[in-house]
Amino acid sequence: MTTMTRAYAITAEAVAAEAQRTGESAEEIDVSNVVHLDDLELRDLGPRDVKLKILAVSAEHNITHAATADTINIAEARGGKIYPGNSAVGEVLEIGDEVTRLDVGDVVITHCNGEPDENGFPLRIWAYDQPESIGWYSKEAVVEDWQLIKAPLDSGLSLWEIAALPLRAPTAYHLWRRALGIYRVKVPYERQARLNVLSFGGGVGELFLMLAKAEGHNAFFCAGSKERRDSLEKLGIVGIDQKQFNRFASSDDVKAFNKHVKGLTDGVGMHLVCDMLRGPVFEAGMAVAARCGVNVSAGWQLSQVVSYNSTVQSVKQVTIDHTHYETPVGCEAATELYGSVFKPTIHNEIYSFEDLPRCFQEMHENTQTGIPIIRVADEMPESVKDLV
């Protein structure tokens, strides 16, 4: 029997129309003109499928990339239309005959590993560049059970805080494991126990620093949002105002930032740097790297190409590592840290489902005070009513 639902879509036609309106300027694009509510036919339930009622979703930056086509025109590459949505909390409505690890009524979170390689790492991301994938910015969804994890409702987090983490927590968890592991290849614990760790503004960057702080390291958060800096300072993470350095618009700004960081770290610099934000922070992060430092990035930069002085970094023994996303097993492990380590900063407005396009435009404008959350379901199941 055909099941229809309401879901947000991005079309190549809408991307082209907005690009024409703005003269191909990604900064001037109004994302709310590109993301449209659509009717979606859900596929029939297969033996390993789960049908979900979506409760809440988190806004993710890959949607602004899809709407602005600032790296590739993914809507066009996917045949003209995508149904986005990489991160959600949902209630199980139906399960296929072969599903044994979930039951009707369970509350679950999603992960977005679209096509794992032989080691479990994604070749493509669900609801972005994975062919035929349908995302979760919708009222209901059907997805295979391997993409779902039981939500940790007893973690001490609200439903909105839980909804902030399914994409961001595994990304931060993977970045942290790689950064620390690479550094320890070069410098063992007994030679340098406590590290200086820097991340630039953003939800993944916050969580990366929460992991660092939880393991006893010195953590520094460089962001333009005072609200986000204040939130992390309550956890003992030192805030650095990115606007103080004009968001690194010139080489003089980068030099001033480097001097400031050296003052904070007794001249050492940062052993680990996570440069999640777009724009010129890559150069700033490289400038403050300590000897044997590690720079990790899962960033979708505005450009797909970065350049640096390889001679200088070779002399400093700096390692640059590019990552994408976690394995399904790693996503399960990251979920265990909800509430104990991961305590996300939430934007002060919980958006309605109808306001999702405005939410993404405000994300594009970088005006939100924390991770933006959209409430999808009008009625919540009893199991989460105390968490709303």
The C-alpha angle with vertex 239 and arms to 237 and 241, in degrees rounded to 5, equals 165
- Residues of the chain short of pLDDT 70, as ranges, are 1, 276-279, 298-304
| DSSP for 124-172, written as a single string | SBTTTTSTT-B-SSBSEEEEEGGGEEE--TTSS--HHHHHTSTTHHHHH
Instruction: For 14, list phi and psi in degrees, rounded to 5.
Output: -70, -40
In-domain check, residue 97:
yes
In-domain check, residue 194:
yes
In-domain check, residue 334:
no
Q: Could you tell me if 308 and 182 lie in one domain?
A: yes
Residues comprising the chain, all counted:
388
Give the up-direction half-sphere exposure of residue 197: CA atoms within 13 A in the CB hemisphere. Answer: 28
Q: Could you tell me if 80 and 175 lie in one domain?
A: no
Q: Could you tell me if 121 and 211 lie in one domain?
A: no
Task: Spell out the residues 6+ positions from residue 351 whose beta carbon is closer than 8 angstroms to its own.
Answer: 59, 358, 359, 372, 373, 374, 375
Residue-level pLDDT at 277: 46
Task: Spell out the residues 6+ positions from residue 305 whose beta carbon is closer than 8 angstroms to its own.
Answer: none
Q: Could you tell me if 149 and 191 lie in one domain?
A: no
Q: Could you tell me if 25 and 93 lie in one domain?
A: yes
In-domain check, residue 337:
no
> How many independent structural domains does the chain possess?
2
The C-alpha angle with vertex 169 and arms to 163 and 173, in degrees rounded to 5, equals 170
Cβ atoms within 10 Å, residue 192: 16
Residue-level pLDDT at 276: 58
126 touches 133 (CB < 8 A)? yes
CA 176 to chain centre: 14
User: 188-221 pLDDT, tens per residue?
Assistant: 999 999 999 999 878 899 999 999 999 999 999 9
Three-state SS letters, 12-24: HHHHHHHHHHCCC
Q: Could you tell me if 67 and 15 lie in one domain?
A: yes
Nearest to 388 by CA among 87, 50, 89, 59: 89
d(CA 80, CA 105): 35
Q: Could you tell me if 191 and 265 lie in one domain?
A: yes
CATH of the domain at 196: 3.40.50.720
The C-alpha angle with vertex 355 and arms to 279 and 81, in degrees rounded to 5, equals 70
Domain that holds residue 372: 3-164+344-387
Q: Could you tell me if 298 and 380 lie in one domain?
A: no
Q: Could you tell me if 304 and 348 lie in one domain?
A: no
Reduce the DSSP state of residue 64 to 3 states and report it. helix
Reduce the DSSP state of residue 334 to 3 states and report it. helix
Q: What is the pTM of this model?
A: 0.93
User: 168-179 pLDDT, tens per residue?
Assistant: 999 999 999 999
d(CA 155, CA 152): 6
Residue-level pLDDT at 244: 94
Residue-level pLDDT at 61: 83
Q: Could you tell me if 16 and 77 lie in one domain?
A: yes
What type of residue sits at position 248? F
Q: Could you tell me if 15 and 127 lie in one domain?
A: yes
143 touches 110 (CB < 8 A)? yes
d(CA 363, CA 304): 21
Laid out side by side, the sheet with 35-42 consists of 35-42, 3-11, 81-82
In-domain check, residue 209:
yes
Q: Could you tell me if 303 and 368 lie in one domain?
A: no
Residue 335's Cβ-count burial label (10 Å; 0-12, 13-18, 19+) is buried
CATH of the domain at 378: 3.90.180.10
In-domain check, residue 120:
yes
Rounded alpha-carbon distances, angstroms, from residue 15 to 18, 34, 69, 358, 365: 5, 6, 7, 16, 17
